[in-house]
Structure 1
Amino acid sequence: MDSDSQVAQVPEDPTTAIVEIIVPVSLSANAHAGKTAFEAKCSTCHGINAVGQTDVAPPLVHKIYEPSHHADESFQRAVSLGVRQHHWPFGNMPPVEGLTRGDVTMIIAYVRELQRANGIN
């Protein structure tokens, strides 16, 4: 993306955000749907725009979650089965109820667009 299509994201609470990111000005239709689902089910822990929260949950806009290390199915499995702590000291992530595979696919589209806007490919 060029600089005209991005905006710096100032975390709502910079004392708890783990990373500061660039947020795309516009999202694809799938990512827009994913953002809505993310805000409803994921942002409580992972923060607005997936910046993480100190002592709560990691940022998903982080090199650790690049597609070559955590493929899309990793996100699907984490949501449906939960995941044991392995990269961060936040404890285990429980399964997230109320999301279908399709919902998670849209959330992944949103996270991947955030990642790409921040040079994580």
Structure 2
Amino acid sequence: MATLVLAACGTDAAAPADRDDVGARVFAANCATCHGPDLGGTDRGPPLLHEYYLPDHHPDVVFATAIANGVQAHHWDFGPMPAIGGLSDDEVAAVVAHVRDEQRRAGLME
């Protein structure tokens, strides 16, 4: 699945703003409970606006794999992240793009 997600990111016909709208919506519905509506984290999950989650440490494929398969905690003590089922490859790609856009807006990336 991860390869398909990256391919979808690279060939998505939707405009970036449209993809971000989808990513923001899917993030709000599936990720914000733990990672916060502003990606700043909660008492249930870590902030994604953190240097640990920048592409040089956690590339896009790692985000996509974590969404699809879940992941064991390794930076924080929140416990393992469960897999988020029911999302299409395009929705996963949109969430990853949304996270990257928010990281840019927060000044963590250029």
Q: TM-score, normalised by structure 1?
A: 0.74
Q: TM-score, normalised by structure 2?
A: 0.81
Contact 2:33 2:42 in 1 (8 A): no
Residue identity over aligned pairs, in percent, reads 40
Q: In the alignment, which of 55, 64, 69 is matched to residue 67 of structure 1?
A: 55
Aligned mates of 1:120, 1:66 — CA distance in 2: 8
Q: In the alignment, which of 33, 52, 67 is matched to residue 22 of structure 2?
A: 33
Q: Give the aligned CA root-mean-square deviation in angstroms.
A: 1.2
Pairing 1:76–2:64 present: yes
Please say which structure displays the higher CA radius of gyration.
1
User: 2:40: which partner in 1?
Assistant: 51
Structure 1 residue ranges without an equivalent (≥5): 1-26
Which ranges of 4 or more aligned residues in structure 1 deviate by more than 2 Å?
none
Aligned mates of 1:97, 1:84 — CA distance in 2: 17
Higher relative strand content? 1
User: Is the partner of 1:49 in helix, strand or coil?
Assistant: coil
How far apart are residue 49 of structure 1 and its match?
Answer: 2.0
Query: Which structure exhibits the higher relative contact order, with contacts defined as CA atoms closer than 8 Å and separated by 6 or more residues?
Result: 2
Q: In the alignment, which of 97, 101, 107 is matched to residue 113 of structure 1?
A: 101
Aligned mates of 2:27, 2:66 — CA distance in 1: 14
